[in-house]
Amino acid sequence: MIMVQQLLTNAARSGARVAVIDGATSSKATSTVQKYLKGGSVDPKALTIKVTPRDLAKTDTGDAISVAVSVPYDDISWLPAPWFLGGTTLKANCTMRRE
């Protein structure tokens, strides 16, 4: 669980870093998060990724842009019956300022 939580944190940071660059789109940020987590064996289908604001073209320099990532623990556990954290959702969020 701790390893996946760290992966989510790093993926949110990577997505936010892409999102704040001039010419970025929400789909580029989302794709960055998915690729990062796929490399960590987290199924992209299980993820919920939210880029705020959705339309990055309408943001100005200094505006806050957030990337939030979540995944149900049941979808990432390697244990046959995740009884300890079953039903929990792991979450990470990163907010950066538009460059």
How many independent structural domains does the chain possess?
1
> What CATH number does the domain containing 67 carry?
3.30.1300
Which residue, among 34, 38, 35, has the nearest Cα to 48 in the 3D structure?
Answer: 34
What pLDDT does residue 25 have? 96
What pLDDT does residue 43 have? 87
Question: The dihedral of CA 70, 35, 96, 2: what is its sign?
Answer: positive
* Parent domain of 93: 2-97
Predicted confidence (pLDDT) per residue in 68-83, tens digit: 999 988 777 665 655 6
Predicted confidence (pLDDT) per residue in 21-50, tens digit: 999 999 999 999 999 999 888 888 999 999
What pLDDT does residue 80 have? 60
